[in-house]
Chain A
Amino acid sequence: MPALPLDTAGKYVAAAYLVFLALVLIYVAIMAGRLSRIEKDLEEVTELLEQRAGERETVPVD
């Protein structure tokens, strides 16, 4: 097949590079979701620690 003219070939090239960009961006978005879950877990651990510290303070000392 003869080489495509630049205006037609450009669309295909742009589409291919956009697919790559989209894949990377989707991956980054998934990673961002995971990061927010880690943050939530961290918050829960902090709450548990604070709860433990509070319990320790309320225990009467003989």
Chain B
Amino acid sequence: MNAVFGRGLRTLSLLTAALLVGAFALVFFYAPNDADQGFIQKIFYLHVPLAIVALGGFVAGGVYGIRYLRTGDRLHDLRSYVAIHLSLILAVGALVTGSIWARGSWGVWWTWDEPTLVSFLIVFLLYACYQPLRFSIEDPERQARYAAVFSVIAGAFVPLNFMAVRMAQAYVHPRVLSTTGGSMPGSMRLTFAVAVLAMALLFVTLWKYELASKSATFRLRALKRRLAGDEELWTTRRSAAPTL
């Protein structure tokens, strides 16, 4: 295990911070208020990028799951684990901000007759099982293999679920993005694109931070074990996180 995850992290962090500040500046000082919803539509620039990046992260977790199954390289298992772990956090953000938006716009915190909301909740609950699944398996090899299979199947479910909702006829969630251009004016489209990019960069930055942190922890513990030569130090705590 010789990967260095912290390389380029400072530049990436600065770029992410700058882009996030830029995106929020565009949201509040450049993009016009929505003609229909007014000022509350500003939540859109936070809620939708959070959801898109979370779903993208789940798919990325599946891709690394495939890589792990093909190569057996535990680093891919770690990458998959961290991507899914971070996507869950972003998904919580998407659900909470969506609820706040729903309360302001529709007068309710949640509605069950809205396919987009319910399907996102299903995906979230599906991935909420990922950590308990890992924790329930003690053997690290089996844990990594089962988690990879889960991430691949669940990762394939994400785009399928997205397409199914798009094809559903009875939806009421507003459609502002489509292959034909959607209904957003240029200034809103630009703001949205920058917000998605900023959120994606935030995801990559945090992903690299967590990988660097976990990798440093594993290396240090391995070093400690070698130096101490103590059997007691070999016994590691049962954990949902991969061990390298």
Interfacial residues, chain A to chain B (CB-CB below 8 A): 1, 3-6, 8-10, 12-13, 15-17, 19-20, 23-24, 27, 31, 34-35, 37-38, 41-42, 44-45, 48-49, 52
Q: Is there a chain A Cβ closer than 8 Å to B238's Cβ?
A: no
Q: Is there a chain A Cβ closer than 8 Å to B4's Cβ?
A: no
In the bound complex, residues from chain B placing their C-beta under 8 Å from that of A6 are 38-39
**15 residue pairs from A and B, CB less than 8 Å apart:** A1-B107, A3-B40, A4-B39, A4-B104, A5-B38, A6-B38, A13-B39, A16-B47, A16-B100, A16-B101, A19-B96, A24-B202, A27-B206, A34-B217, A41-B217
Which of A16, A19, A34 is the most central at the interface, judged by chain B CB atoms within 10 Å of its CB?
A16
Known: A1-B105, A6-B39. A16 touches B220 (CB 8 A): no
Task: Report the separation of the CA atoms of residues A42 and B92 in the bound assembly, to the nearest whole angstrom.
Answer: 34
Chain B contributes a number of interface residues (CB within 8 A of A) equal to 37
Task: Report the separation of the CA atoms of residues A19 and B98 in the bound assembly, to the nearest whole angstrom.
Answer: 11
> What 0/1 readout, one digit per residue, does chain B (217-234) give for beta carbons within 8 Å of chain A?
100110110011000000
Secondary structure of the A side of the interface? helix
In the bound complex, residues from chain A placing their C-beta under 8 Å from that of B37 are 3-4
Known: A45-B220, A45-B224. A27 touches B46 (CB 8 A): no
Known: A6-B38, A42-B220. A16 touches B43 (CB 8 A): yes
User: In this complex, what residue of B is CB-closest to A23?
Assistant: B93
Judge whether A3 and B38 touch: CB under 8 Å.
yes
Q: Is there a chain A Cβ closer than 8 Å to B18's Cβ?
A: no
Judge whether B46 and A3 touch: CB under 8 Å.
no
Judge whether A4 and B223 touch: CB under 8 Å.
no
Task: Report the separation of the CA atoms of residues A6 and B40 in the bound assembly, to the nearest whole angstrom.
Answer: 8
Judge whether A23 and B39 touch: CB under 8 Å.
no
Judge whether A31 and B210 touch: CB under 8 Å.
yes
Judge whether B223 and A10 touch: CB under 8 Å.
no
> What 0/1 readout, one digit per residue, does chain B (140-184) give for beta carbons within 8 Å of chain A?
000000000000000000000000000000000000000000000
Task: Report the separation of the CA atoms of residues A8 and B105 in the bound assembly, to the nearest whole angstrom.
Answer: 11
Judge whether A48 and B227 touch: CB under 8 Å.
yes
Identify which of B46, B213, B224 contacts A44 (C-beta below 8 A): B224
- B112 CB to nearest A CB, Å: 19
Task: Report the separation of the CA atoms of residues A12 and B39 in the bound assembly, to the nearest whole angstrom.
Answer: 10
Q: Is there a chain A Cβ closer than 8 Å to B30's Cβ?
A: no
In the bound complex, residues from chain A placing their C-beta under 8 Å from that of B210 are 31
Q: For chain B, residues 84 to 126, give those with C-beta under 8 angstroms from any C-beta of chain A.
A: 89, 92-93, 96-97, 100-101, 103-107
